[in-house]
Structure 1
Amino acid sequence: MKVLVTGGSGFIATWIRHQLLARGHTVLVMDHQDRRGGLLDGEEFFLGDVRDATAVTEAAAHADGIIHLAAVLGTQETISNPRPSAETNIIGSLNVFEAATQYRIPTVYAGVGNHFMRLQGTGCYTITKSAAEDLARMYNAYRDGGQVAIVRPVNAYGPGQSVAAPYGTSKVRKVMPAFTCRALTGTPIEVYGDGTQVSDCVYVEDVARVFVAALEHTACHGAPAQPIEVGPATSCTVLDIARLVADTAAEMTGRAPVDITHLPMRPGEVPNAVVRADTSTLDVLGADHGADSFVPLADGIRNTVRYYAEHWLPGYQLQAA
């Protein structure tokens, strides 16, 4: 298949593109910023914004399948400024589903692992992404040609994830880069709340494999009846993750593990929340894609910390000198 990947220059999207190419597909990368300099063999680039219905329809006309990842991210960020996430995550998704249905193209939509927290007003990101899930179900149920699979990853992490301030330029703070950059620089890791909240993490390579498998399944059998949730077989707390990162960074740097400090929870965060995937939903894709086959958390964190130690830390130290 020739697969259109919206938001194709992003973290998860980059891993999905590699997986698509490894599976013998070709890729049409769609992004609103001109990133064609980072294309791989077997890829083409389409400059466009998913909020532009005409651009989405034109891109879809050249594809046999779609993986829709374009979104405005962030919890605190979308509370203080909700309009961009509403426009991209709802209207943009509507444009993708409409074009996909028009051309009868199998599509995979990236939902969110904490979808249930929209009932608690957790932030416009979760609210808008969940609203788009409802649109996907509408297209599947009532529109001839609608075949949209929903894949809900919990917190994806791994090499290449963007770094937020004060260690990088990303506008959205992600747990694993935030913990890792602090641990590698000898700075205490900051945990919001007491750390007992469960916020499962899944290695990005496993997320990519599931997205591609879901697209291939949908192309052959139609969209699965239920969302596919992607997460580890065993859950752990935020504090567990912080300790693993601190210990792994200590092994690599030869220093003692950094301390862990606690800060008040921020707007949109729910005390004692449990963000966990129903991994039984992976069964529809076959035994090869079960959670038991995923990269263990300790191994994934080791890969991730090593990546930042080798690719991020030297430049940061040079800049800070």
Structure 2
Amino acid sequence: MKIFLTGGSGFIGGHLRRELLSRGHQLRLLVHRREAKPEHGVEFVEGDVTRPESFVGQVAGCDAVINLIGIIREFPGRGITFAGLHVGATRTMLDAARQAGVQRYLQMSALGTRPDAISNYHKSKFQAEELVRASGLDHTIFRPSIVFGPRDAFINLLAGYIRSYPVVPVIGDGRYRLQPIAADDVARCFALALEMPETVGQTFELCGPDRLTYNEMLDTIGRVLGKSSVPKLPNPLGIMRLVVPLLQGFSFFPITMDQIAMLTEENICDGRWRDTFRFEPEHFLPGISKYLRP
């Protein structure tokens, strides 16, 4: 297949590129700036997903569109918003696929996305999903949990705290559960879906085999880094709700209330996606051991 891919230069995008190329697919990758180093099987298309006129003609001739574009945090002053890059970009890509006559469409969403979501992030993801479901295209939607891998943001951030500080701050009591999944496993699901007609019209929640509390996750990362224990400093949610809104507008501040809401409401699933894709996902400890070093 020839696949038009957006978000392919990001963390998960890099894993998906390798997976698709290994299966013999050709990629047409939307980028802001063409990479100097050519890549076999990859055609770079310069454009901006918020400006469809910059790339829409390049979707023609493709067999499928995959949209990975997403942000975890808004910076409205710089034009970086959930509405623009989740909802607006999805609308643009659906229109581009329809204009080009491309019927197969895969969408990256997020675990926790639902109609009554408490976070603006998940609300915007659900709005984007609704556009996909109403598009008339042969779509598949994926909702991964926290994704780990060599270039991930979240696990590497926590590892940096553990390496650098004698005590690691914990939001709330740290007992909320998470179910991280490997980036390679997410990429594999996307690639397999292209070969599986039974995935059309379906939404899959993707999570790994290990259901860990936030405290357990910190301790697991600490073991990989050679620490027998990770001292933790709980930060009561009541205090966070007073302080974070005052500082979250500054880029140097590490967290927003939206992110706190997503973290503390838990991020787990039942793992039924394995009934369809029929492979065992990688466990968290051996997975992070491949790229975190003491």
Q: Fold-level match, TM-score > 0.5?
A: yes
- In the alignment, the residues of structure 2 paired with residue 64 and residue 243 of structure 1 have an alpha-carbon distance, to the nearest angstrom, of 45
- Say whether residues 1:151 and 2:151 are aligned partners: no
Match of residue 224 from structure 1: 200
Secondary structure class of the residue paired with 1:41: coil
Matching residue's letter, 2:281: F
RMSD: 2.5
- Deviation by residue 1:96-143 (Cα, 9 ceiling, x = unmatched): 112223313311100111113x624312x222111110111111xxx3
- Which range moves more in the overlay, 206-215 or 184-193? 184-193
2:162 pairs, out of 183, 204, 225, with 183
Match of residue 235 from structure 1: 211
- Say whether residues 1:283 and 2:282 are aligned partners: no
Secondary structure class of the residue paired with 2:194: helix
- CA shift, 1:195, in A, is 0.8
- In the alignment, the residues of structure 2 paired with residue 200 and residue 261 of structure 1 have an alpha-carbon distance, to the nearest angstrom, of 22
- Deviation by residue 1:177-219 (Cα, 9 ceiling, x = unmatched): 21111223354333211111112211111111111112332xx
- Say whether residues 1:198 and 2:177 are aligned partners: yes
Match of residue 36 from structure 2: 37
- Say whether residues 1:50 and 2:86 are aligned partners: no
Match of residue 245 from structure 2: none
- Say whether residues 1:130 and 2:154 are aligned partners: no
Show structure 1 runs of 5+ residues with no match. Answer: 163-173, 310-321
- 1:23–1:243: structure 2 CA closer, same or farther, 3 Å change rule? same
- Say whether residues 1:274 and 2:288 are aligned partners: no
Count of aligned pairs: 273
- Say whether residues 1:214 and 2:193 are aligned partners: yes
- CA shift, 1:25, in A, is 0.8
1:107 pairs, out of 105, 108, 112, with 105
Does the aligned pair in 2 maintain the 1:230–1:277 contact within 8 Å?
yes
- Deviation by residue 1:27-67 (Cα, 9 ceiling, x = unmatched): 122123x1513553221111111112223422311422121
- 1:82–1:128: structure 2 CA closer, same or farther, 3 Å change rule? farther
- Say whether residues 1:88 and 2:64 are aligned partners: no
State the TM-score, normalizing by the size of structure 1.
Answer: 0.77
Match of residue 250 from structure 2: none
- In the alignment, the residues of structure 1 paired with residue 76 and residue 179 of structure 2 have an alpha-carbon distance, to the nearest angstrom, of 23
- CA shift, 1:297, in A, is 1.0
Secondary structure class of the residue paired with 1:136: helix
Secondary structure class of the residue paired with 2:170: strand
Show structure 2 runs of 5+ residues with no match. Answer: 241-256
Match of residue 20 from structure 1: 20
Secondary structure class of the residue paired with 1:67: strand
